[in-house]
Amino acid sequence: MPDRHHRQEEIKSYRKAPGRQSMIHLHRARAEAALGHGLPPRAVVHHADGTRSDDGPLVICQNQAYHLELHRKMRIQALGGNPWTQRICAHCGLQSKYRFADDKIPFCYGCAKIRRRKRTLRERAA
């Protein structure tokens, strides 16, 4: 079985287009044409339909963090949830309402409670 790292010719890449100074990805060229000028320094072009097609809808994100947020919301929506009021627990993988213990803790209340209990038991044993 061939090594995954040596199959570059099999992996479909984004098509390239002539840019201002060098070749750039076609979707970035389309985004620049829609804006009428170059993209901002940290801008990321998101394929809204999730495909790499050349004619698909594009969203220009101001940075990678916003781009990842779009992917998180699309994943929740694909599971049948509401991306504005639900999240996916990092431990059990289930959707839950915005009842997370803290916005920075990606666990639902049940999993956060189990993790706190395990941490307490470890601290008492030490």
Judging by beta carbons within 10 Å of its beta carbon (0-12, 13-18, 19+), is residue 27 exposed, middle or buried? buried
Q: Among all chains, which residue has been given the structure tokens 């995954």? A: 4
72-106 confidence digits (pLDDT tens): 888 888 888 888 877 788 778 777 665 554 556 67
Phi, psi of 64 (to 5 degrees): -65, -30
Which residues in the chain come in under a pLDDT of 70? 1-15, 17-22, 96-105
Quickly list DSSP for 10-30: TS--PPEEE-SSSEEEHHHHH
CA distance 122 to 104: 23
Tokens of 41: 């320094």
For the question of whether the overall pTM of this predicted structure is more than 0.75, the answer is no
Domain segments of the chain: what residues? 12-81, 85-126
